Structure 1
Amino acid sequence: MKSIFSHVICLAVLLALQPLAEAGPVKDHAGRWLGDLKTPGGRTLRLGAELFTRADGSAWASVASPDQDAIDIPVTSIEENGDTIELTLPFAALTLTWAKDHFKGVWKQGEAPLAFELRKVGDFPMKVRPQTPKAPFPYKNEALAISTADGVTLGATLSIPHGVTRPNVVVLVAGSGPATRDGHGDAHRPFAVLADHLARRGIAVLRYDKRGVARSTGNFEKHTLADLIDDLDGVVRTLKARNEFNHLGLVGHSEGSPIAAAVAARHPESVGFVVSLAGVGLPGLDALVLQDWIWAKDRGASPAEADWAMAYARKFYEVVLAHTEPGARVAALKALYDGLRPAEQDRIRKLEMNQGTLSLAWAQKPFLRASLQADPSADWRAVRCPVLALNGALDHQVPAKENLRGIVAALNAGGNRRVESDILPSLNHAFQTAVTGREDEYGKIDETLSPVALERIVQFAQQQR
């Protein structure tokens, strides 16, 4: 419920030459800046910003909160005015004004602006997990800029193993949420870990920032599932145009799994294999309702309360589907809530059923409505290449049994018999070895990715000849 499926807080061409960002405070003071923000409650919170040039050469920035294990928090807009930079986020704003050798910052979230100073740092102070890749690397990392059909430029990293002629190559496709190419979350970098593991075993890997995140242009808040499919389509076309790899595979996590299926169905001549990790195999509405049922149980709901929560969630999403205009959608949802008995409203608050996809903020996003309308089974039926589908037994966001059954059934219905599937014991949605599988456990686990899962993925990618 905090996100749709992920646990995180067109002709494509390689752009060989990017326009340089014009002079301004972002370009003049590029790098990471960090300061101590004193909150109204008396707590000091480290808050920072990174100023950089995006893949298309334009000036941009992101926000970081190291004490909350969050970096690359995407901004929705940036405005440079003299020595001042205005950064706008969906929930706040940060103003930076240059003052000789540092920035004076003003954080605006709520009624009272909070002033603090930011000074340059080499890197943000983040916890380092044991599996985070460390040099030396037996592969080359190449920065790419990939253009998509609607003019978005994706920032990407292509890792090519040394000494391997025409290796297989895989593209890592992130789940929902503002994912960077490394998949930052809770100080973990799962896509960096997976890319490193694959490249060390002779598999080339491309990973990219989602549109509107980090070095990629575009607007993350306004994207739809179709946009993400088109983005991956552009990545695949770019790799095929290089003509230096053997088989091309797609490795999609969570929502990235049906995105991979859609592109594999669209380009059977280009995509040689697919790996689905915590993949979604149910229609969008059913998948979200099932997730909300588990969410309620995790928050102490009795069986009867969990069933009630599931029914309420379905009504909420049916309202979202019934109204194309966001304003009418919100009005109808408010009427739905006002029509509940006081005890039912209390139950919603108790079970936190007014957060994430069941919030009014999410209800206004085009992405939620498009996701509710999605049915990945049609794309899975059209996938003809070899598929490895893995789900974790302790996944509370994409329940393994129901979703894996849906994926395999659709593949078989389409006549695909080159399918391997497995439910891996003790693994959560993030493919960590877990105890409960709940979302609040992710950051408490030092393991980024289970060695068992890593080995299954590598062996499958190596087997494709």
Structure 2
Amino acid sequence: MKKNLLLILAVWIYSTISYAQEIDGIWHGNLNFNGQKLGLIFHLYKDENGKPSGKMDIPQQSVTDMPINLSLLTQDSISLHLPAIGMSYNGKLVQDKIKGLFKQNGVSIPMDLEQGEIDKPNRPQEPFPPFDYQTQEICFTNKNANAVFSGTLTYPKEYSKEKRIPVVLMITGSGPQDRNEEIFKHKPFLVIADYLAKNGIASLRYDDRGVSKSTGERSGCTSQDYADDADSGLQWLKDCGKFGKIGVLGHSEGGLIAFMLGAESKVDFIISMAGPGIKGDTLLAEQQNAALKLYGQPANRTVESVRAEVSMNPKDSWLNYFIDYDPTSTISQIKIPVMAINGSNDMQVISTSNLNAIKKELIKKNKKNVFKEYIGLNHLFQHCQINNSLDYYNIEETCSEEVLQDIVDWINKL
């Protein structure tokens, strides 16, 4: 949740870089540290006033367009310093490369920059048009929040209003995300929508509040506000009268929101992909300990330490709501069919504690309920080993074929 993955280095760089005509454009390099490789991309250009400017990307951490301020120029050298995080980089243009040294908190790492982008990662599951099904751009409104949502409605090839086929509203995980839930150059919701359409199931996915083509204010919002947004999407699907059963598919925080909607009987079925089943403060402590253990650090985070840390940022409405929210009572009210799934290598929503908590509340509520842990899958439902379970970017698979097929089979049997 909150995508607070353990960074290889604290490379959230609001940096200052030197600029020369010879080194403008796009440059990239790799930090190699303890067997891990972290790619950095610098976009160097002049703004509308002719002033040197730039941005930086860290694809493996899903960071894009981070502003950088350019200074300290020589004809063949660059130098950047960030005292706040103890970091500096000094490089010199040698033929077609900038050869330099990255330093942070006493650690020195050679890092050379080459011109051009890093090669795009391979994403074999990502579909491209022309599609073998119909898509329609739609909008719906949450009037209470003064927010208009832009989304994509996907119809199977065999769609007709008379068939009353099922439709699924997709709800993204935490943080501002677009309709494809794009993260680490993966587009999970696009892949899922494509698979559903090819198997006779319609879907609606939408840009989150204040993201891409959707409007609305995110400041001060909590999971309840985002549940209201999703409810507006459900109401649009009901009002359009084009489908039969209407369900929700939520990933991570989206799974939590799916439970909220299900408890209020606003949908016909729920699919929770790595949705939380335990209180937020406990989940965050488990999440942080899993990441620390993965990187060989003492797993010493407690609920108390998490809450103490959060208390230092009282203005974060989302986080304060999340740590106090216990989904148990909400889940216990659900009577509609639920498919709750997790991966055994999930380091963000730990499968054993969360899935068991969900199962405990729902095991006897509906005979169509399904609870399944997928061995060897991570938080994005990619196949992985424990040691690369957080390396979403370098894994080519976007979502396990087995998971996709299980979702389709379950919906079609309802």
Please classify the TM superposition score into its range, dividing by the shorter chain length: 0.7 to 0.9
SS of equivalent residue, structure 1 residue 252 = strand
Q: 1:445 to 1:37 in 2, by over 3 A?
A: closer
> Which residue does the alignment assign to 2:146?
151
User: 8 Å contact 2:342–2:355 — kept in the other structure?
Assistant: yes
**Aligned pairs for 1:21-420 within 5 A:** 36=26, 45-47=41-43, 68=59, 92=67, 126-148=120-142, 149-165=144-160, 166-266=164-264, 268=265, 270-301=266-297, 305-306=298-299, 309-311=300-302, 314-318=304-308, 320=310, 329-330=311-312, 364-412=315-363, 415-420=365-370
Q: What is the CA–CA distance in structure 2 between the aligned matches of 1:292 and 1:110, rounded to whole Å?
A: 26
What displacement does 1:170 show? 0.4
Q: 1:187 to 1:159 in 2, by over 3 A?
A: same
Measure how far apart 1:37 and its partner are.
6.7
Q: Measure the CA separation in 2 of the matches of 1:250 and 1:144.
A: 17
1:265 is displaced (CA, Å) by 1.6
Residue 137 of structure 1 and its aligned partner are, at CA, apart by 1.2
- Work out the CA distance in 2 between the residues paired with 1:193 and 1:234: 24
Q: Which residue of structure 1 aligns with residue 374 of structure 2?
A: 424
Change (3 A) 1:71 1:462: same
Tell me by how many angstroms 1:180 deviates. Answer: 1.1
State the shift of 1:241 in Å.
0.5
Deviation at 1:36, TM superposition (A): 2.8
Residue in 1 aligned with 2:74? none
C-alpha distance in structure 1 between counterparts of 2:401 and 2:124, whole Å: 12
More strand by share: 2
Q: CA deviation at 1:428?
A: 0.8
2:307 partner letter: Y
Deviation for aligned residue 1:134: 2.2
Matched letter for residue 451 of structure 1? E
Cα offset, 1:160, TM superposition: 1.0
Per the alignment, residue 50 of structure 2 pairs with none
Alignment length (residue pairs): 339
AA of the residue aligned to 1:280: P
Q: Structure 2: which 5+ runs fail to align?
A: 8-23, 32-38, 46-53, 70-81, 85-117
- In structure 2, how many angstroms separate the alpha carbons of the residues matched to 1:110 and 1:422? 48
- Residue by residue over 1:128-187, the C-alpha shift from the partner in whole angstroms, topping out at 9 and shown as x without a partner, is 410010233122111122211311111211111122222210011111122211111222
Instruction: Give me the whole-angstrom Cα distance separating, in 1, the residues matched to 2:120 and 2:212.
Output: 17
Q: Is the 8 A contact 1:173 1:257 kept in 2?
A: yes
Q: Distance in 2 between matches of 1:403 and 1:316?
A: 18
**Alignment correspondent of 2:77:** none
Q: Secondary structure at the match of 2:179?
A: coil
User: 1:158 and 1:129, CA in 2 relative to 1: closer, same or farther beyond 3 A?
Assistant: same
Match of 1:445 in 2: 395
TM-score, reference length from structure 2: 0.72
Residue-by-residue CA offset, 1:50-74 (whole Å, 9 max, x unaligned): xxxxxxxxxxxxx99666268896x
AA aligned opposite 2:121: K
User: Which residue number in structure 1 is paired with residue 48 of structure 2?
Assistant: none
Match of 1:461 in 2: 411
Per the alignment, residue 11 of structure 2 pairs with none
Q: Where does the alignment leave 5 or more consecutive residues of structure 1 unmatched?
A: 8-33, 50-62, 74-88, 95-108, 112-123, 321-328, 331-359
- Give the AA of the match of 1:136: P
Identity among equivalent pairs (%): 30
What's the CA shift string for 1:267-315, capped at 9, x where partnerless?
x2x41111111121101111111112212211213xxx32xx223x523
In the alignment, is the contact (CA less than 8 A) between 1:6 and 1:397 conserved in 2?
no
Which is richer in helix? 1
Q: Is the alpha carbon distance of 1:389 and 1:440 closer, same or farther for their aligned partners in structure 2, counting shifts above 3 Å?
A: closer
1:125/1:64 Cα in 2 relative to 1: closer, same or farther (>3 Å)?
farther
Q: Is the 8 A contact 2:57 2:63 kept in 1?
A: no
Once the two structures are superposed, residues 248-282 of structure 1 have per-residue CA deviations (whole angstroms, 9 ceiling, x without a partner) of 1111111111100101222x2x4111111112110
1:443 to partner: Cα distance: 1.2
TM-superposed deviation, 1:418 = 2.9
Distance 1:438 1:221 in 2: 33
Are residues 160 and 46 of structure 1, via their aligned partners in 2, closer, same or farther at CA, if it must alter by over 3 Å?
A: farther
C-alpha distance 150-110 of structure 1, shift in aligned 2 (>3 A): farther
